[in-house]
Amino acid sequence: MKELIRDEINKSKNDVKQLFDVDITEDKAFSYTIIKYYYMLKDMDNYNDIKDMITDGANDGGIDFVVYDEETPKVIVGQSKMTKDLDTNTVISELDKMSDTVKCFLDGNTGAFNKQVKNQLQNALDRLPDEDSGNVEYVVFTTSSVNEDSIYKRIDKGEHSYSKEMVTIYPEEEIESQIQNIWESINKVEEDKVSLDRPKNYLEYENDELEGIMVNVSSKSIIQLYNKYMDRGLFDLNIRKYIKSKLVDSGINKTLNEERENFWFLNNGLIIACDEFVIDGNNVKLYGFSIVNGGQTTTLIGKYDGSNTQEFFVPCKIVSKKSDDDSMEFFSKIAEATNSQKPIYARDLKSNSPEMRTLQKWLSDEDVFLEIKRGDTKGKKNKKYKIRNDELGQIILSFVNQQPGTSRSGKKNIFENNNIYTQIYKQNYEKDPSKKQFILDLIDLNDRYQIIEDGLKKGSDLTLEEKEILKNGKQIMFSVMGVLYRLSNEDIDEKELLQDTNLLKTTNFTYGGFISNYKEDDLEELLRNIICNSITIVTEQYITAMNKGECTSVSNYFKTDKRYLTDIMVGFIKAYCRQSVGKDLKKDSKIFMR
């Protein structure tokens, strides 16, 4: 086993022992390590959440862990195999076992599985939006080298309930590379050049602001650029770094092996954005450049280790802006329009948009790091608050727009639905002092909520059912706090709301600072009381719904905005108006006063 992987496994074992006073096997520590470096990049030390994702044990149905990917969205079920040798038959057998387990859950036949599998897999499957129902990926991580081609061919030839597009294999070398590079940050390449197929063979085009050329770049130049700058700016302007995709990767590798003379015809090529380019015979000199589109092609050419070394040429568009003005908006449009070779998350397409960069800039001035591009952590280290743009969108959609179901289960709609996107991100917060302070307070609230949530998960103050609500109910809690914000500021009347919860959708939201106005020293205590009391109310409603057979899991209960308004919020307002816990909520909600 690679030493780096071994070190990380040992670290996971020690961390779990220190945090939970539990000794875990190396196999289970391997699962902790995998989840940290592949699925928990924003919160790698959150061992409580990682622990919940792990299902490894007796009657686990062949599933070591379950991850819900909000970006896609999809359910990821995985095996982590610590072994020196892993043959094709074993991998296929493990995939079949995991697939059979998923089918049992989809059919409602779950009695044979352990509690952790039931909880994690059922909640994950129920959380999928209706249009993505059944979207499952099967992954196998291993400390051995495996013949991936053999595995995918077997899947193609056999009769399985899954296709090769639903399967991803991660061998030892790739895991090591992921660990090594996970926190890297990159910039544009300052200066270099690429070679052409023949001198001055280019097609040029320009307008008043931009200029560009179409050329045929040598594969040798691409390899040289990759070797020198793969982690030093070569992909900085791309909307996302290279992401493994079997279907596309295998096609490119097949062409590299067998049809290099046809690569120009079969590949979309590259787009390079730069500050300046100069044509010099059979070379193009590039200054301040990065690959906007074609990171996948570049990476696979650069990493190719087959026997075919024949030089070939790749179509390449080189674009620059004539003035010294910021050209990121234009390059963002190029990336959005041309990155169609493999699936891209909706969030990626907005990563360089003007409103995102403006939001990131003014928040940075307020000691907040807003991550707008996946994997980009530049400027994060010294900020008081750290938050992703999708996470910010979720809490705004929940707190302000009262749509926790969409926020939780349909997060991609935040970026795909123009109406929702505009309501959240195109509000010119920085130009309105009230809106600006509201966003800063909401980010502060999110930070405080996370600390309290982590403490409640570790403690024993909540029942098992309440902890399950807490674990899955952040967006519900932020919607509830958004209601308390309105009630405490008398933006809406509690008696009218008791009669018609749709008022939360039809009444305009009033922005303003809130927790920054509260000057007493018991803010954390009052916020914790609000969270705990709200969880108590929602848990009682959930248990009632479960007993009536109206839902199958917490995720299913929290899935839609309609259920939130017609069931959860109705019950919450009744408790707020009539029960003793409601009196406590009213008293503690003074922290939400504008």
Does the pLDDT of residue 336 top 70, yes or no?
A: no
Do 146 and 245 sit in the same domain of this protein? Answer: no
Does the residue 351 lie in any domain?
A: no
Per DSSP, 509 falls in state P
Does the residue 350 lie in any domain?
A: no
Comparing 180 with 332, the larger pLDDT belongs to 180
Question: Token digits for 253?
Answer: 């590798």
Do 175 and 68 sit in the same domain of this protein? Answer: yes
Residue 142 bridge partners (DSSP): 81
- What are residue 288's phi and psi, to 5 degrees? 55, 60
Does the pLDDT of residue 341 top 50, yes or no?
A: no
Do 418 and 548 sit in the same domain of this protein? Answer: yes
CATH of the domain at 36: 3.40.91
Domain boundary among 181, 203, 226: 181
Does the pLDDT of residue 565 top 50, yes or no?
A: yes
Does the pLDDT of residue 335 top 70, yes or no?
A: no
Q: What is the mean pLDDT of residues 542-566?
A: 92
Residue 177 confidence (pLDDT): 84
Does the pLDDT of residue 45 top 90, yes or no?
A: no
Comparing 374 with 206, the larger pLDDT belongs to 206
Distance CA 239, CA 354 (A): 14
Does the residue 375 lie in any domain?
A: yes
Domain boundary among 181, 206, 240: 181
Per-residue buried b or exposed e for 464-498, using 16+ beta carbons within 10 Å of the residue's own CB? eebbbbbbbbbbbbbbbbbbbbbbbeeebeeeebe
- The boundaries of the domain holding residue 207 are 189-344
Do 420 and 520 sit in the same domain of this protein? Answer: yes
Does the residue 435 lie in any domain?
A: yes
Highest-confidence segment of 340-349, 422-431, 435-444, 547-556 = 435-444
CA nearest to 357, candidates 346, 345, 370, 366: 370
Does the pLDDT of residue 18 top 50, yes or no?
A: yes
Do 163 and 217 sit in the same domain of this protein? Answer: no
Q: Could you report how far apart the first and last alpha carbons of the chain are, in Å? A: 57
Q: What is the mean pLDDT of residues 33-57?
A: 87
On average, the pLDDT of the chain sits at: 88
Does the residue 349 lie in any domain?
A: no
pLDDT in tens, 382-433: 899 999 999 999 999 999 999 999 998 777 788 888 889 999 999 999 999 9
Do 432 and 502 sit in the same domain of this protein? Answer: yes
Highest-confidence segment of 12-26, 472-486, 550-564 = 472-486
CA nearest to 9, candidates 139, 179, 171: 179
Question: Token digits for 433?
Answer: 């002092």
Do 103 and 229 sit in the same domain of this protein? Answer: no
Do 372 and 442 sit in the same domain of this protein? Answer: yes
Burial class (CB in 10 A: 0-12, 13-18, 19+), 183: exposed
Do 167 and 47 sit in the same domain of this protein? Answer: yes
Q: How many domains, the chain?
A: 3
Tell how far CA 22 is from the center of its chain.
30
Residue 230 confidence (pLDDT): 78
Contact 54, 28 (CB under 8 A): yes
Distance CA 178, CA 41 (A): 11
Q: Which amino acid belongs to residue 195?
A: S
Does the residue 136 lie in any domain?
A: yes
Contact 196, 217 (CB under 8 A): yes
Do 169 and 225 sit in the same domain of this protein? Answer: no
Please state which of the ranges 161-165, 357-361, 458-462 shows the lowest mean pLDDT. Answer: 458-462
Share of the chain above pLDDT 90, in %: 62
Please state which of the ranges 140-149, 287-296, 372-381, 425-434 shows the lowest mean pLDDT. Answer: 372-381
Positions of E strands within 82-154: 136-142
Residue 328 confidence (pLDDT): 56
- What are residue 193's phi and psi, to 5 degrees? -145, 165
Question: Token digits for 335?
Answer: 């990336």
Cβ of 203: how many Cβ atoms within 10 Å? Answer: 9
Residue 340 confidence (pLDDT): 43
pLDDT in tens, 451-494: 999 899 888 789 989 999 998 999 999 999 999 999 999 999 99
- What are residue 341's phi and psi, to 5 degrees? -75, -25
Domain boundary among 181, 202, 219: 181
pTM, rounded to two decimals: 0.64
Share of the chain above pLDDT 70, in %: 91
Does the pLDDT of residue 344 top 80, yes or no?
A: no
Do 303 and 222 sit in the same domain of this protein? Answer: yes
Q: Which amino acid belongs to residue 125?
A: L
Do 111 and 162 sit in the same domain of this protein? Answer: yes
Ordered strands of the 65-69 beta sheet: 65-69, 74-81, 136-142, 167-170
Residue 327 confidence (pLDDT): 55
Residue 330 confidence (pLDDT): 58
Cis peptide before 73 (omega within 30 of 0): yes
